[in-house]
Copies of this chain bind each other. A is one copy, B any other.
Amino acid sequence: MSKGRLEAFSDGVFAIAITLLVLDLTVPKGQPDGGLWAALGREWPSYFAYLVSFLVIGIMWVNHHTVFEKVRQVDRAVLFANLALLLFTSVIPFPTRLVAEYLTAAGDARVAMAVYSAVMTACAVCYGTLWLVITRDAGILHVHLDRAAERAALRRFGFGNLVYLATVGLSFLNPVATLAVHGAIAVYYCFDQLRTEGTGSAPDHPG
């Protein structure tokens, strides 16, 4: 099976999931006249959650391409691993809505944030698994990965998973800070992943 279709379908899911986030930004209704400014201000958790989830999905899309640029063809196992990743990616608007609704609730903010962090952890685990599945068979790749680079990537995935797992715990201590941490991780991955993965792979890219 060629990778073209997998990429097109994945692109579609990423693009739709990132754009559906806007539906979680709710317009305050039935305000007494003049109260809209304050009402919008009270919705700050929506904007914060929107921004972080946008960054997370955006960076996941970037890394998805960085990974598949190295891939020549896909088999059934890659397909499954990718579908699992898309499952958790396309679910992200749900915990985003949950956080937008409950981030300012005294106790439930922790539950909402823990669910958000758990979904992010699941995404990270799926990413690591996808990488493992892709690199288990040299025939799938069209660039040569030396053993050291492969292990470094795996270590980074493993470390990332631990960080994400830690955010689940952090959610119960400080939900707002946890959301900020998710944003920070997305920005970090943006810089780090691209620098490391980018070396040498761009010229090989056919498309």
Residues of A within 8 A of B (CB): 1-2, 4-5, 7-9, 11-23, 25, 27, 29, 31, 33-37, 40, 50-51, 54, 58, 61-62, 65-66, 69, 73, 76, 79-80, 83, 86-87, 90-94, 97-98, 101-102, 105-108, 111-112, 115, 190-191, 194-195, 198, 202, 205, 207
B8 contacts A11, C-beta separation under 8 Å: yes
Which B residues are in CB contact (< 8 Å) with A40? Answer: 111, 115
Measured CB to CB, the nearest residue on chain B to A50 is B91
* Interface contact A194-B76, CB-CB below 8 Å: yes
Instruction: Label chain A's interface by main secondary structure.
Output: helix
Q: Which residues of B contact A101 (CB under 8 A)?
A: 27, 29
The one of B4, B83, B93 in contact with A207, judged by C-beta atoms closer than 8 angstroms, is: B4
Q: How far is the CA of A4 from the CA of B5 in the complex (A)?
A: 11
Indicate if the CB atoms of A15 and B18 lie closer than 8 Å. Answer: no
- Is B23 a contact partner of A23 (Cβ separation < 8 A)? yes
Please, which residues of chain B bring their CB within 8 A of the CB of A23?
A: 20, 23, 93
Nearest opposing residue in chain B for A108, CB measure: B36
Which of chain B's residues has its CB closest to A191's CB? B76
**Complex Cα spacing A33 to B201, Å:** 51
Given contacts A33-B106, A54-B90, 6 further A-B contacts (CB under 8 A): A5-B7, A25-B94, A31-B105, A37-B111, A76-B191, A80-B190
